[in-house]
């Protein structure tokens, strides 16, 4: 299927009161609706992309929905970013990252494929990991069917999606990924950092939010020690693809993201690490209202363009 694809709005949108309440005070169902509504409000109108299609691919728990963005009319294989949406492993869908994926597809330019992995608490760790690594493997193995250049595949994601991108890069070490883009990623379930303590506004994304998400994601807190949940705890980070790590100054996850960038650099991985000042967690999805979101996307596009043209 080609042409513009727009999913219908949730038939039961949240009330204005729900939108401003902290998500961690809601039920999972309420938080999912409120999160999508807030993202749509802050993202603005998504850019038109030449071809957008919805399809599915086989996953470990059933078919996985994917959305494919192709910015040009060509039958030639394109460099491809596999994008994982944020939402604390409990919220989100391919709709969550739709505006981001449109912008990146046009800006690089490249093909972008976003994966609708299974969500917690219905599907605990490692379900999301299994879905994402299965999807990347399937995309690489069926590159011709999807118009993918198998020698130019990158992974990217924001927040929990950044966590999943980092984990997939770990899992596929030495198997051809050319880049990883990690936007304010979760990297350590322990969360004992200065930024976690400093950014504790009860009305914003804070340590309670982080604990709420981890609580839904992990069946057992001990699972958080697994590097596939907390990539910062991996003993060896050598041999991973070059990374761009973006963090936000006013974000509980800032320090663990920056520490992951340091660990990658110490392991000999080429790393660009950028902290955007004056902004909070989630800013990357707010291109309609936050200038730094557009700046960060331009940085991501330039980084990917450079990796794809090497």
Q: Set out the domains of the chain in order of their start, with CATH numbers.
A: 23-308 (3.40.50.1820)
Contacts of 145 (CB under 8 A, 6+ apart): none
**159 belongs to the catalytic site:** yes
pLDDT of residue 310: 82
- The arithmetic mean of pLDDT across residues 151-155, rounded, is 98
**216 belongs to the catalytic site:** no
Catalytic-role residue among 195, 251, 255, 287? 251
pLDDT of residue 44: 83
- 1 pLDDT higher than 80: no
- 2 pLDDT higher than 50: no
- 236 pLDDT higher than 80: yes
Contact 271, 265 (CB under 8 A): yes
Catalytic-role residue among 188, 209, 281, 287? 281
pLDDT of residue 21: 84
- 48 pLDDT higher than 60: yes
- Structural tokens at position 193: 């950092």
- The arithmetic mean of pLDDT across residues 129-141, rounded, is 98
d(CA 170, CA 153): 14
- The arithmetic mean of pLDDT across residues 27-56, rounded, is 95
- The arithmetic mean of pLDDT across residues 254-268, rounded, is 98
pLDDT of residue 207: 96
List, for residues 165-205, the tens digit of each pLDDT value: 999 999 999 999 999 999 999 999 999 999 999 999 988 99
Which segments within the chain are labelled E, that is strand? 51-59, 62-70, 78-84, 111-115, 148-158, 177-183, 243-250, 271-280
Q: State the pLDDT confidence band at 20, using cuts at 50, 70 and 90.
A: low
List, for residues 275-307, the tens digit of each pLDDT value: 999 999 999 999 999 999 999 999 999 999 999
Contact 292, 273 (CB under 8 A): no
- Report strand pairing: 62-70 vs 51-59: antiparallel
**281 belongs to the catalytic site:** yes
- 11 pLDDT higher than 90: no
Catalytic-role residue among 159, 209, 230, 287? 159
């Amino acid at each position: 299927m080609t042409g513009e694809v727009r999913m219908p709005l949730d038939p039961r949108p949240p009330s204005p009161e729900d939108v401003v309440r902290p998500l961690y005070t809601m039920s999972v169902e309420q938080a999912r609706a409120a999160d999508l509504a807030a993202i749509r409000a802050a993202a603005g109108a998504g850019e038109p992309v030449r071809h957008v299609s919805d399809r599915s691919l086989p996953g470990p728990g059933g078919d996985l929905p994917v959305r494919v963005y192709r910015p040009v009319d060509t039958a030639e294989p394109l460099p491809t970013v596999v994008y994982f949406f944020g939402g604390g492993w409990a919220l989100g869908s391919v709709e969550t990252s739709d505006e981001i994926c449109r912008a990146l597809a046009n800006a690089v330019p490249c093909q972008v494929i976003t994966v609708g992995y299974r969500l917690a608490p219905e599907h605990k760790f490692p379900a999301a990991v299994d879905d994402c690594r299965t999807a990347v493997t399937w995309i690489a193995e069926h590159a011709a069917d999807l118009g993918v250049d198998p020698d130019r595949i990158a992974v990217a994601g924001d927040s929990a999606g950044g966590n999943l991108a980092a984990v997939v890069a770990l899992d596929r070490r030495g198997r051809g990924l050319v880049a990883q883009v990690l936007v304010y990623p979760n990297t350590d379930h322990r969360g004992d950092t200065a930024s976690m303590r400093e950014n504790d506004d009860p009305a914003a994304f804070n340590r309670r939010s982080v604990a709420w998400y981890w609580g839904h994601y992990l069946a057992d807190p001990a699972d958080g020690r697994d590097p596939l949940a907390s990539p910062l705890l991996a003993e060896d980070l050598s041999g991973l693809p070059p990374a761009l790590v973006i963090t936000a100054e006013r974000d509980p996850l800032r320090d663990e993201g920056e520490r992951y960038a340091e660990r990658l650099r110490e392991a000999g991985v080429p790393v660009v690490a950028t902290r955007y000042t004056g902004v909070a967690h989630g800013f990357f999805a707010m291109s309609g209202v936050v200038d730094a979101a557009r700046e960060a996307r331009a940085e991501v596009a330039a980084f990917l363009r450079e990796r794809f043209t090497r």
